[in-house]
Amino acid sequence: MTQLKYKRILLKLSGEALSGDKGYGIDPTVLDAYSLEIKQVVEMGVQVAIVIGGGNIFRGIQGERSGMDRVQGDYMGMLATVINAMAIQSSLEQHGLYTRVMSAIKMEQVCEPYVRRRAVRHLEKGRIVIFGAGTGNPYFTTDTTASLRAIEVEADVVLKGTKVDGVYTADPFKDKTATRFTTISFQDVYEKKLNVMDLTAFTLCKENNLPIIVFDMNKSGNLIRLVEGDDIGTLITG
């Protein structure tokens, strides 16, 4: 049996990634690919919690730009994350996995309300827990939700799946000389002003000694390699 480096993970997926090349909405092929990756680690005995963004549908800031009240827009963004959570839930279930969506905003006809002890119980039973509706509060992000929920359920690590394979010295799409860090301290990320997560999310991890790994979720096999402790992506620790 393979040795697992991480037994309980919090996987953060951006909403934008779900839209694939379309830039909006949900691409079923992306959902399917992610579900297969997640299934592999669940079958290895890893407990999986997921936080998914809503950027493929709505962002609060977007509403504000068009004259909408920011708080109203943020609630719309939070509802968008529930749509994504339900989409990934369906896809995971099609692959025979057991899941629960837990929402920070009560909508009991659709999913369970978030209750920390129940979330932990689901994880212990091998169910994938998908946290919807962000933190339930405007002015926050789903990155902050990921850090907060990871700390609450005592996950071993936050795995931030992105379209780049780690944290670079500069934007690798703009600067060809940019190099990737294999590991970096929280302090260095601050000092070098590297863009890993928003500061609220980042500070939560730093203060609670919760490691973050930024990795390329679109490369098949990466999730398994990470839980086995392979040196991929960028590991941020204390």
Whole-angstrom distance, CA of residue 17 vs CA of residue 27: 9
Say whether 20 sits in a helix, a strand or coil: coil
Site track for ligand UDP across 82-111, x = CB under 6 A? ------------------------------
C-alpha R_g of the chain:
17
Q: Does 166 bind ligand UDP (CB under 6 A)?
A: no
Q: Does 122 bind ligand UDP (CB under 6 A)?
A: no
Site track for ligand UDP across 171-210, x = CB under 6 A? ----------------------------------------
- The answer to whether the annotation marks 188 as part of a ligand binding site is no
Say whether 125 sits in a helix, a strand or coil: coil
Task: Evaluate whether 211 touches 236 at the Cβ level (below 8 Å).
Answer: yes
Query: For the packed helices 28-43 and 70-94, what is the interaxial angle rounded to 10 degrees?
Result: 60
Q: How many residues make contact with ligand UDP (CB under 6 A)? A: 23
- The answer to whether the annotation marks 140 as part of a ligand binding site is yes
Within 41-60, the residues that bind ligand UDP by CB under 6 A are 53-55, 59-60
Whole-angstrom distance, CA of residue 112 vs CA of residue 183: 37
Q: Which residues are annotated as a binding site?
A: 12-15, 54-55, 59, 74, 135-142, 162, 168, 171
